[in-house]
Amino acid sequence: MGHNDSEQLNLNPYWMPFSHNRYYKQDAAHRVHRMLARAEGSYYWTTENHKLYDALSGLWCCGLGHRHPRLVEAVKQQLDVLDYGTAFQMGTPGVFKLAERIAEAAPAGFEHVFFCNSGSEAVDTALKMALAYHRARGEAHRTRFIGREKGYHGVGFGGISVGGMVANRKMFAAGMLPGVDHLPHTHNLKEMAFSRGEPQWGSHLADELERLVALHDASTIAAVIVEPMQGSAGVIVPPQGYLKRLRELCTKHGILLIFDEVITGFGRMGQPFAAQYFDVTPDLITFAKGVNNGLVPMGGVIATKSIYDTFMTGPDHMVEFFHGYTYSGHALAVAAAHAALDVIAEEQIYPRVNALSKTLEEAVHGLKGEANVIDIRNCQLAAAVELAPMEGKPGLRAIRVFEEALKRGVLFRFTGDIIAMGPTFVSTPEEIGHMAEVLRESIRAAG
């Protein structure tokens, strides 16, 4: 589809997700360089044939680059053999092999993988596992979940209940899970602005879990769920020692700890999972996005052997966990995931990410001192620049920076007045440096 064809589109029927529909549709000027036509490697091309460096790997999901030939070929070959195979009471060899590979990549003790189709589904699955686990152990009174302010755990009712982003919650209060509480967020500009990596201040905020235990009693709490590194809220990095302290407190009180690794899993942290990067082992890990490079929707939950074994009781002809999805372990998604894991190993993606992370850190922190830049933060191959909001118009400065960057050939992600970056794992140091300089120019041009 060319530029002229796209201008003839009827934009009204499509209700765009997480988008300013009226702004996008009402004025052609607001859509300049915002209609994608094709992609390859670290770049998109728009319907005007304008080349854009993808500074967020799709939506944190295409770390291996777009249309990687190994993944594309794997899906094509799978279509020649099997398109869809039911996952209920049936199996395919590929899905069993994939579960084994993912379990091997996870921290020690994680031996079982439950597949779904997205991060949102993975979170709701993990919450159900936590409830059912305690019930199976004879502690059905553990029904409460603890999330965190500013947390993002997808858009299912379970995910928005434990999530802590106000805009995602305010319209849906009537449908949220009862009995959910939240830890305070760890984002404090006064104490940690311009930190490189994990901030030194803030580990004590994990002790707020003790306050919630005292308020609700530990016997009522099923699980605590956190993102090890918060991506959707704008790359909020955990303070040094914070996650270890959460682990200690959850163990002390018999509470499951769930790491939501939808963004951090499969490469972003230079390790298979952030649990390994931060050296903290949770009880359940959710994943999606990077497991097959975003090629076909897929997500899942990795569980420890002890959690899985707790379910494996009663007559062996009975279903142990009444949960699943029509597309759990879809054959095309599985084929793409196998190819992605092959590429991660063969192209030495984790060492590449670790090396490139240093380049990203230096590049983004070089923006310190630019007008209206109030914070810069980074964690491995993720970074964010926070901007001072325009008076009375929060979010507008980031939109202007976003649009200025599009003109200059870079596609950033913005949330509020935060510009987020999660470059592809196959980016070059030169591309990272250019990305940062385009951001500098765009901040200046936006005013």
Among 328, 346, 364, give the residue marking a domain's end.
Answer: 346
Q: Is 184 in contact with 226 (CB distance < 8 Å)?
A: no
Angle between the 93-105 and 331-346 helix axes, to the nearest 10 degrees? Answer: 40
Strand duo 256-260 + 284-287: pairing: parallel
Token pair recorded at residue 391: 């008076």
For residue 276, count other CB atoms closer than 10 A to its CB: 17
Rounded mean pLDDT of the chain? 96
Task: Annotate 375-428 with three-state secondary structure.
Answer: EEEECCCCEEEEECCECCECCHHHHHHHHHHHHCCEECEEECCEEEECCCCCCC
> Are 210 and 275 in the same domain?
yes
> Are 279 and 401 in the same domain?
no
Q: Which residues fall within 8 angstroms of residue 14, CB to CB, at 6 or more apart? A: none
> Are 49 and 79 in the same domain?
no
CA 64 to CA 294: how far, in whole Å?
A: 10
Q: Which domain holds residue 234?
A: 73-346
> Are 116 and 137 in the same domain?
yes
CA 195 to CA 185: how far, in whole Å?
A: 16
Interior CA angle at 77 toward 73 and 80, to 5°?
150
> Are 107 and 246 in the same domain?
yes
CA 126 to CA 153: how far, in whole Å?
A: 11
**DSSP secondary-structure letter at 32?**
T
Q: Which CATH number belongs to the domain containing residue 421 in this structure? A: 3.90.1150.10
CA 204 to chain centre: 25
pLDDT on residue 3: 56
pLDDT on residue 5: 58
pLDDT on residue 149: 97
pLDDT on residue 2: 55
Token pair recorded at residue 114: 């439950």
Q: Is 288 in contact with 252 (CB distance < 8 Å)?
A: no
pLDDT on residue 4: 55
Rounded to 5 degrees, φ, ψ at 435 are -55, -45
Task: Please spell the DSSP secondary structure of 246-301, one letter per residue.
Answer: HHHHHHHHT-EEEEE-TTTTTTTTSSS-HHHHTT---SEEEE-GGGGTTSS--EEE
Number of domains in the chain: 2
> Are 227 and 320 in the same domain?
yes
> Are 53 and 106 in the same domain?
no
> Are 137 and 188 in the same domain?
yes
> Are 11 and 133 in the same domain?
no
Q: Is 239 in contact with 192 (CB distance < 8 Å)?
A: yes
> Are 241 and 337 in the same domain?
yes
CA 359 to chain centre: 22
Among 314, 346, 378, give the residue marking a domain's end.
Answer: 346
Q: Which CATH number belongs to the domain containing residue 254 in this structure? A: 3.40.640.10
CA 106 to CA 276: how far, in whole Å?
A: 8
pLDDT tens per residue, range 331-349: 999 999 999 999 999 999 9
Among 346, 378, 402, give the residue marking a domain's end.
Answer: 346
Instruction: Give the pLDDT of the chain (447 residues) as one tens digit per residue.
Output: 555 556 689 999 999 999 999 999 999 999 999 999 999 999 999 999 999 999 999 999 999 999 999 999 999 999 999 999 999 999 999 999 999 999 999 999 999 999 999 999 999 999 999 999 999 999 999 999 999 999 999 999 999 999 999 999 999 999 999 999 999 999 999 999 999 999 999 999 999 999 999 999 999 999 999 999 999 999 999 999 999 999 999 999 999 999 999 999 999 999 999 999 999 999 999 999 999 999 999 999 999 999 999 999 989 999 999 999 999 999 999 999 999 999 999 999 999 999 999 999 999 999 999 999 999 999 999 999 999 999 999 999 999 999 999 999 999 999 999 999 999 999 999 999 999 999 999 999 998
> Are 305 and 356 in the same domain?
no
Q: Is 420 in contact with 235 (CB distance < 8 Å)?
A: yes
Token pair recorded at residue 213: 């235990």
Token pair recorded at residue 162: 């434990």
> Are 186 and 265 in the same domain?
yes
pLDDT on residue 78: 98
